[in-house]
Amino acid sequence: MHNFRLVYLNGEFLPPERAMVSVFDRGFIFGDGVYEVIPVYGGRLFRLPHHLARLERSLAEIRLPDPLTHGEGERIFTRLIAECGAGDQSIYLQVTRGVAPRDHAFPADTHPTAFAYAQPAKYPTADTVARGVAVVTASDNRWLRCDVKAIALLPNALLRQQAIERGAVEAILVRDGWVTEGAASNVFIVRGGTIYTPPNGPFILPGVTRDLALELAAANGIPAREEPIAEVALFEADEIWLTSSMREILPVTRLNDRPVGNGRPGPLHARLYALYKAYKQAFCEGKVA
Ligand code: PDD
């Protein structure tokens, strides 16, 4: 069932089949928890401080103390990565409010449940990036705290499934006529040589890959703006990209069964993706933190 041998659960490293959580865990009962997904390139945790900072923020927003004391997360991940073997991987980390009798109100004295594992990961191949992917638009019917990386992902799962059943790989979500993000990704468009992405706030997750794309654009004189994107602007975009830890910076070449731009990945994607790959390479060689 699993392609890894060890998971971390509440202070222990265990084979996955021996890692057990109570059915009364509030993660199971209420979806009461938060998570992170961290890319691992060449055995190293990519943008770890950014992921840990976002985890801390998610935990604070749901008023859950951080069960991993300073530096503990990195030590746990390093062991999981070593056990997982060579090649690209990803880390999944989840923290829930812990086990308690079912009651919506917070329990008085419960320990959070902390769970993590590393697994081999397939990042988009050169072929996928050269072809681009298909997406569909869908109505954003999630809650109003999408800035919290909550494990309660039923709407996201339903929206992604809708996309798959329409022959696409992702749903781009629209709320009141404005683009928010993908079911599990952030969205960028290009118009007239400028990159646009919706601003951070309650409607989107502050994506680590999104931030890196903006950082690389700024450092290389590529005009980029964090601005609301109207749904109609999507259909007039020269380019559309998705960003996420698992999808990196992926060009969208079909939107609702119609070509985006000329139907091929655009020149600004090529530029930014080359910068991303160079950054990743430098990271793997230990030249950037
Ligand atoms: N999801 N928006 C949503 C709703 C997401 O779930 C994700 C990532 C992103 C991109 O964030 P980042 O660049 O930090 O990965 C945006 C992860 C990969 C997941 O749920 O598997």
Q: What ligand 1 atom has the least distance to the C-alpha of 54?
A: 14
Cα 108 to middle of ligand 1, angstroms:
31
Q: Give the pLDDT mean for 176-189.
A: 98
Residue 2 pLDDT exceeds 80: no
Domain co-membership, 195 together with 62: no
- pLDDT of the residue at 256: 98
Protein residue closest via CA to atom 6 of ligand 1? 184
Q: Is the CB of 180 under 6 A from ligand 1?
A: no
Q: Is the CB of 55 under 6 A from ligand 1?
A: no
Domain end point (choices 101, 120, 139): 120
> Using 50, 70 and 90 to split pLDDT, how confident is the model at 4?
confident
Q: What ligand 1 atom has the least distance to the C-alpha of 212?
A: 13
Q: What ligand 1 atom has the least distance to the C-alpha of 156?
A: 4
Cα 181 to middle of ligand 1, angstroms:
10
Domain co-membership, 133 together with 106: no
Domain end point (choices 120, 139, 159): 120
Domain co-membership, 145 together with 184: yes
- pLDDT of the residue at 53: 96
- pLDDT of the residue at 172: 99
CATH number for 274: 3.20.10.10
Number of domains in the chain: 2
Q: Give the pLDDT mean for 169-194.
A: 98
Residue 69 pLDDT exceeds 90: no
Domain end point (choices 98, 120, 142): 120
> Using 50, 70 and 90 to split pLDDT, how confident is the model at 3?
confident
Domain co-membership, 116 together with 140: no
Domain co-membership, 114 together with 130: no
Domain co-membership, 138 together with 254: yes
At 13-52, the pLDDT tens digits run 999 999 999 999 999 999 999 999 999 999 999 999 999 9
CATH number for 99: 3.30.470.10
Domain co-membership, 192 together with 272: yes
Does 260 map to a domain? Answer: yes
Q: Is the CB of 185 under 6 A from ligand 1?
A: yes
Domain co-membership, 51 together with 132: no
At 267-287, the pLDDT tens digits run 999 999 999 999 999 999 999
Domain co-membership, 53 together with 131: no
At 84-126, the pLDDT tens digits run 988 999 999 999 999 999 999 999 988 999 999 999 999 999 9
Does 2 map to a domain? Answer: no
Does 169 map to a domain? Answer: yes
What residues are labeled active site?
A: 149
Domain co-membership, 112 together with 132: no
- pLDDT of the residue at 1: 66
Domain co-membership, 146 together with 276: yes
Does 106 map to a domain? Answer: yes
The whole domain housing 208 covers: 126-284
Q: Has this prediction a pTM greater than 0.85?
A: yes
DSSP code per residue over the chain? --S-S-EEETTEEE-GGG----TTBHHHHH--EEEEEEEEETTEETTHHHHHHHHHHHHHHTT---SS-TTHHHHHHHHHHHHH-SS-EEEEEEEE--B-SS-SSPPSS-PPEEEEEEEE--PPPHHHHHH-EEEEEEE--S-S-TTS-BS--HHHHHHHHHHHHTT-SEEEEEETTEEEEETTBEEEEEETTEEEEPPSSTTS---HHHHHHHHHHHHTT--EEE--EEHHHHHT-SEEEEEETTTEEEEEEEETTEESTTSS--HHHHHHHHHHHHHHHHHHTTS--
Domain co-membership, 28 together with 136: no
Cα 109 to middle of ligand 1, angstroms:
31
Mean pLDDT of the chain: 97
Protein residue closest via CA to atom 5 of ligand 1? 184
